[in-house]
Amino acid sequence: MLRSIIFKPTSSAFFAAKIRFQSVQAQPQQLASDGIDPEWPNALPYEKIPRLGWLTMLRGFAPGGRYHNLTVLDAHRRFREDFGDLLVIPGILGRKDTVVSYSPDDYEKLFRTEGHWPNRRGLDTFVHYRKHVRPDVFKGLGGLVNEQGESWQRFRTIVNPVMLQPKTIRLYVDKLDEVAREFMGVIREIRDEKNELPADFNQWLNRWALETMGVLALDTRLGVLDKEMSTEISNIVKYNREALELMYQLDILPSIWKFYKTKSFKRLMTLFDEVTRVVMVKVNEAVVRLEKNPTTNNENQSVLEKLLKIDRNVAIVMALDMLLAGVD
């Protein structure tokens, strides 16, 4: 939640802001005294933040309403038009309120003050699947997307030294360049006589991203850019697309799945199972391959190989997350 939200400035404050805007000098940071944020005296109370009310939601999202059938992006554009740069979306059906800011400066403040144990709300269906449906696979690890607080920091502490090393990045430059060049060849082939790309070009972008992540996560080519994909790889793309749509319906739109396991919820759990099963086959193949033929030079070891040496479960969850992110 935002630590402070500031009222519209007075005329004198506006004059000072104008001078600040015209200056080319960096503004010195004002130090807090006695541990108190100097902006707190001007902070807007939470209850004064503009709120998307229940009646507004019911009317707005109903057929014919101002927000009906809009994409997430278009809905937020409407919210900003109606409420300004800051609003509260009330929590419903077991969810917490959500404070939405359209000001980048607010997020800079948030990220700088959230501390070592941030709490960034994830997708509840995804968390439920990993923690309660398939704990046998994930061993209590939610991954970087789903972990919160201290457990997130522990996971991040394990993967950061491996993932953020410049030496590691250099290992993949030539391999990723090969994938990119192959993708450019695909683009040349699928253009029509007007040099335009087909309407389903988005699925080719998904395939390129997945192929790239296959190299990064598993140090192998999946063959996603081939004209004829294997059934397993094709299913990863197909299932994940359907899963993303259902996650939007269950995690973003109002849903009763936390109280009653709906048909859509059950379908989503099945899709998660299918994607996990197929991806785990690829992950396990890579693990076996690396264990049989380990790289002797530490500097040339892949991300997966380095993580396996530290924590096998973390390595598997990280590889799985990277592949799923590639499809997304």
211 and 310 housed in the same domain: yes
Confidence tier at 11 by pLDDT (50, 70, 90): very low
Confidence tier at 289 by pLDDT (50, 70, 90): confident
Is the pLDDT at 37 greater than 70, yes or no? no
Confidence tier at 264 by pLDDT (50, 70, 90): very high
What tokens were used for 26?
A: 């960096």
Is the pLDDT at 120 greater than 70, yes or no? yes
SS3 call for 141: coil
For the domain that residue 263 is a member of, what is the CATH number? 1.10.630.10
146 and 192 housed in the same domain: yes
- Rounded CA-CA distance 38/110 in Å is 15
184 and 66 housed in the same domain: no
Print the domain residue range for 153: 124-327
End position of a domain, from candidates 51, 85, 113: 113
280 and 141 housed in the same domain: yes
In this predicted model, what pLDDT tens digit does every residue of 309-326 receive, in sequence order? Answer: 888 888 888 888 887 776
229 and 310 housed in the same domain: yes
Give me the percent of the chain exceeding a pLDDT of 90. Answer: 22
In this predicted model, what pLDDT tens digit does every residue of 160-185 receive, in sequence order? Answer: 888 888 888 888 999 999 999 999 99
Confidence tier at 30 by pLDDT (50, 70, 90): very low
- Rounded CA-CA distance 112/215 in Å is 33
Rg (C-alpha) for the chain, rounded Å, is: 24
132 and 101 housed in the same domain: no
The H or E element spanning position 101 is: strand 98-101
pLDDT score recorded for residue 1: 39
139 and 164 housed in the same domain: yes
81 and 212 housed in the same domain: no
End position of a domain, from candidates 68, 83, 113: 113
pLDDT score recorded for residue 23: 39
pLDDT score recorded for residue 327: 65
More confident residue, 78 or 275: 78
- Rounded CA-CA distance 300/231 in Å is 32
Is residue 4 in a domain? Answer: no
- Residues recorded for the chain: 328
pLDDT score recorded for residue 85: 93
147 and 271 housed in the same domain: yes
**Residue ranges in the chain assigned as alpha helix (H):** 11-22, 54-61, 72-83, 104-113, 124-128, 135-138, 143-146, 149-163, 166-190, 201-218, 231-247, 263-292, 303-310, 312-327
Is residue 233 in a domain? Answer: yes
Number of domains within the chain = 2
Is residue 301 in a domain? Answer: yes
Specify the residue for token string 């972990």.
Answer: 147
pLDDT score recorded for residue 230: 78
Is residue 2 in a domain? Answer: no
pLDDT score recorded for residue 28: 45
129 and 58 housed in the same domain: no
Is residue 6 in a domain? Answer: no
End position of a domain, from candidates 113, 143, 165: 113
192-205 average pLDDT score: 88
Is residue 197 in a domain? Answer: yes
Confidence tier at 77 by pLDDT (50, 70, 90): very high
pLDDT score recorded for residue 4: 37
pLDDT score recorded for residue 271: 92
pLDDT score recorded for residue 180: 95
Average model confidence (pLDDT) for the chain?
81
- Rounded CA-CA distance 317/319 in Å is 5
Is residue 118 in a domain? Answer: no
More confident residue, 18 or 128: 128
Is residue 102 in a domain? Answer: yes
185 and 161 housed in the same domain: yes
Q: Which of 274, 150, 290, 292 is CA-nearest to residue 218?
A: 290
278 and 307 housed in the same domain: yes
